[in-house]
A and B are shown apart, each in its own frame.
Chain A
Amino acid sequence: MNDPNSADEDLAAVEQVVAGDARAFEGIVRRWQGPLINMAWRYCRDRGRAEEMAQEAFLRAWRGLAKWRREGSFSSWLFALAANVYRSELKRFPTETLPMESAPEPSGPAAQHSELAAQLSHEAVQRAVLALPLRYREPVILFYFHEMDVAAAASTMGLPEGTLKARLSRARALLRQRFPHLDERQAFHTPHKPRKMGQPNVGDREMDQETGKEAAL
């Protein structure tokens, strides 16, 4: 989950920031902006809001760096802090979600051959996650954000692994009940796994929000 080089760089940057060099924080933001925005995106499914929440998380991290006790890795601390920020933000201004029953069931077998149907099916499942009750939603978000690593998700939520597993199991049962024909679609599309979500940014690429194109820094 955590690249040792990145961990060393984080530690060095933290030391510099705590010593009073605010510019050193830029390295931390550069490395972790991708994961934090993607994590926020999974909480709210709204790009603009995800960036606002990630920005707030970075500011809280900036304010709290001196209090970080270095007991775990920097990334674990940062993810736990971000999860707290996102949870509070969504409690203050909840996202508009459909009830679980209203999440549309993907279309029938006739349409399954198309890429579009697969895409719709993916979006329906992703929307259904946001419609889960809060106690089940967050374990699902963090479990898949951490590439199905129970220990990392439990650490981010500050829960025992057993509790997280139980909530995850219940959440998956709810999703399974909502999409009972999902297995019939399995043969018709190839899943893609673009990158490891909880990893820091290795390249310094960013996406221009206006054009949607990648821009080199």
Chain B
Amino acid sequence: MNRAKRDRNEEREGINRNARIETEIDQILAGEEELMPSSGFLGSVMDRVRQEAALPAPIPFPWKLAVPGILLAGGVCGWGGFELMRSGLPLMSAFTVPLPVLPRHLSAATILALEQAGWVALALGSSLASWLLSRRLAGASGIL
């Protein structure tokens, strides 16, 4: 009985102590002294604002001119890709050699599945590389 009471008292004391420490932290961090701006601060901010205001307005991106160009480039790339696939795939199949590492008892369906898995892995790898590159570029420009 006494022990339970003592435990309760200790627990209560611990809670009170934590509350006292937090109150002290509150007082220290909320009661920091005010830092006064230096005498030249306002002037230097306004100098930079005036410099920026004096600059000519940025030239807007010429979307009207760029959109046809982007569409044309996209079309050319798409057509090039299509042609590459059309002429390249038969060539690739002609050059395909049996993989020595694959056991002979694997069925054709398994080998096909493995090939597809390879393509999926390649696609995932390139996606990951592209994501990492874009993050790096965005981080370098301060966006992220």
Contact = CB atoms under 8 A, between A and B. Distances in A.
Interface string A26-70: 100110011001100110000100110011001100110000000
Contacts of A129: 29
Interface in B1-57: 17-18, 20-42, 44-46, 48-50, 52-53
Contact of A126 (B28, B39, B49): B28
Interface in A119-149: 121-122, 125-126, 129, 140, 144, 147-148
A25 B49 contact: yes
Contacts of A51: 37-38, 41
B19 to A, nearest CB: 9
A182 B21 contact: yes
> Secondary structure at chain B's binding surface: helix, strand, loop or mixed?
helix
Given A33-B45, A51-B38, A180-B21, 5 more contacts: A29-B42, A144-B32, A183-B17, A193-B30, A215-B39
A94 interface: no
A121 B52 contact: no
Interface of A: 22, 25-26, 29-30, 33-34, 37-38, 41-42, 47, 50-51, 54-55, 58-59, 62-63, 88, 92, 121-122, 125-126, 129, 140, 144, 147-148, 172, 175-176, 179-180, 182-183, 185-186, 191-195, 197, 205-209, 214-215, 217
B100 interface: no
B117 to A, nearest CB: 38
Contact of A59 (B21, B32, B49): B49
B90 interface: no
Contact of A195 (B21, B34, B40, B53): B34
A83 B50 CA distance: 24
Contacts of B62: none
Nearest to B44: A55
A37 B41 contact: yes
B109 to A, nearest CB: 50
Q: Is the interface of A mostly helix, strand, loop or mixed?
A: helix
Interface of B: 17-18, 20-42, 44-46, 48-50, 52-53, 142
Contacts of A29: 42, 45-46
Would you list the 5 A-B pairs with minimal beta carbon distance, nearest first? A207-B36, A209-B38, A183-B20, A191-B27, A22-B53
Contacts of A214: 36
A209 B30 CA distance: 24
Given A126-B28, A176-B22, A206-B42, A50 B48 contact: no
A179 B41 CA distance: 37
A186 B37 contact: no
Contacts of B37: 33-34, 37, 51, 54, 206-207
B35 A37 contact: yes
A38 B36 CA distance: 8
A92 B144 CA distance: 11
Contacts of A88: 142
Contacts of A172: 22, 25
B24 A182 contact: yes
A197 B21 contact: no
Nearest to A177: B21
Contact of A208 (B23, B25, B38, B49): B38
7 contacts: A29-B46, A34-B35, A51-B41, A55-B48, A172-B22, A180-B21, A206-B37
